[in-house]
Amino acid sequence: MQVFKFGGASVKDANGVKNLAKVLQKAGHKKTLIVVSAMGKTTNALEVVIRNYFNNKKELQSSLQEVKKYHNAIILDLFENEQHPIFKTLSNLFDELNVFLKSNKSPDYNFVYDQVIGFGELVSTRIISAYLNDIGFQNDWLDVREFIKTDNYYRRANVNWEETQALINKKFNTSVLNITQGFLGSDKNNFTTTLGREGSDYTAAIFAYCLNAESVTIWKDVPGVLNADPRYFDNAQLLHKISYREAIELAFYGASVIHPKTLQPLQRKEIPLYVKSFIKPEASGTKVGKGIPLDPNIPCFIVKKNQVLISLSSLDFSYIVEENISEIFSLLHLYKMKVDVIQNSAISFSVCVDNIYNNLDKLLHHLKAKFNVTCHENVSLYTIRNYSETSIKQLEIDKTILLKQLTQGTVQMVTL
């Protein structure tokens, strides 16, 4: 059993869907599960729908119509006969979304987000499944929400592994080509949940773990895992082989090629992960596996944009000790801040966070009751794994350094 994951960039249009079929032809598709993300920028477009639902009702239908038009254009390119059942299937899905938007009574943004955003994956997999069936790749379409069960921590749900394993063992047919959605699960009330942005990789790993798969392959628009994001760094190099441990480190610090949660289940069963190019599927890409050392001469650069740096000091110049730090972390947890860097001294404490849930104002209000607070928004967090003095100096050029922290093997800098 092998698991393939295709991201949104790989199926952003009709040619992308056709290329997916070519990849299957070259890579093989017997006893295969394909996990697919929403097409192109659909997730972003549905986030606009969600914002309009809450803040701009008069634009709601037009933003929803844009999503529908985008997918209709793709199926018109893929299917010559407009009487093909896929047209009705998509119409029904968008009708279902409309019904939810009209009937929902919950004011919880995170709940609504998960109910709406998942339609991107439901639509993309219906289209791809229908197309592959038409060209001779017989497959079963699966609703991932019937297999992956989670808690109700909407937008970043936690997997119930015991229940998920039992459902996959009971309902999954390993002898055929299967297609399902990435990113999604469901809670005990069968409401849709999501596993966090880029969670489709994690979905692939969950199935691989439960099915004892031979391998997982993530098909990307890059040749494999690079030592830097080519959008922000010149002369990025391909890492041909890396260990689970190093890949987990890179993912933890924000490397975007592999989702942070993806690697742990694969490591536990020593299932190799391949990151390969859907443009050149015959190329070797990157293998992530057990005990593969990273080339010591290749520093890895990671950048996370739009972060928040919060610096605290005590009001009376007393030490910031365990009790204060415990309280600070309780507040960070309460307001769902993802912590990326911490640094403290006798009377100060700094933390760089990702304000995913837009709770920054509430957090700052709470902190100002007990601390002097300085806040810098829209900062960038740079991390270098396997750093050298040259790589640090290269990164510091033309930047204002707000925080810098060196540990063995890793340097992190927060910059304006």
- Lookup: tokens for 353: 């966070």
pLDDT at 248: 86
Contacts of 224 (CB under 8 A, 6+ apart): 238, 239, 240, 257, 275, 276, 277, 283, 284, 285, 286
Whole-number average pLDDT of the chain: 95
Domains and CATH numbers, the chain: 2-220 (3.40.1160.10), 300-415 (3.30.2130.10)
336 pLDDT band (50/70/90 cuts)? very high
Question: For residue 87, is pLDDT > 90?
Answer: yes
Neighbouring C-alpha atoms within 13 Å toward the C-beta of 145: 17
Continuous segment of H or E residues that includes residue 365: helix 360-367
pLDDT at 297: 77
Q: Are 208 and 265 in contact (CB under 8 A)?
A: yes
Average pLDDT over residues 184-193: 98
Question: For residue 405, is pLDDT > 90?
Answer: yes
pLDDT at 198: 72
Residue range 221-270, pLDDT digits in tens? 889 999 999 889 988 999 999 999 888 888 888 887 687 689 999 999 99
**Cα distance between the two ends of the chain:** 47
Average pLDDT over residues 72-100: 97
Question: For residue 388, is pLDDT > 80?
Answer: yes
212-216, 240-244, 355-359, range with greatest mean pLDDT = 212-216
Question: For residue 293, is pLDDT > 90?
Answer: no
Q: Are 79 and 128 in contact (CB under 8 A)?
A: no
Residue range 19-45, pLDDT digits in tens? 999 999 999 999 999 999 999 999 999
Please list the residues that pair with 354 across neighbouring strands. 338
Alpha-helical (H) ranges within 4-55 are 14-27, 42-55
Question: For residue 291, is pLDDT > 90?
Answer: no
pLDDT at 159: 98
Question: For residue 162, is pLDDT > 90?
Answer: yes
Distances from the Cα of 125 to the Cαs of 93, 128, 179, 272, 366, in angstroms?
Answer: 12, 5, 7, 25, 44
pLDDT at 300: 95
SS3 105: coil
Q: Are 289 and 270 in contact (CB under 8 A)?
A: yes
pLDDT at 256: 73
Cα separation, 86 vs 184, in Å, equals: 22
Average pLDDT over residues 377-381: 98
Question: For residue 330, is pLDDT > 80?
Answer: yes
Q: What angle do CA 224, 226, 229 make, to 5 degrees?
A: 120
Distances from the Cα of 339 to the Cαs of 6, 329, 343, 352, in angstroms?
Answer: 29, 9, 11, 6
- Lookup: tokens for 295: 């080339």
Please list the residues that pair with 351 across neighbouring strands. 310, 342
Cα separation, 90 vs 101, in Å, equals: 17
Distances from the Cα of 341 to the Cαs of 25, 228, 354, 397, 410, in angstroms?
Answer: 44, 19, 10, 21, 12
Please give the torsion angle defined by the CA atoms of residues 242, 243, 245 and 247, in that order, rounded to the nearest 10 degrees.
30
pLDDT at 292: 84
Question: For residue 133, is pLDDT > 90?
Answer: yes
Provide the 10 A C-beta neighbour count for residue 163.
14
Provide the 10 A C-beta neighbour count for residue 127.
23
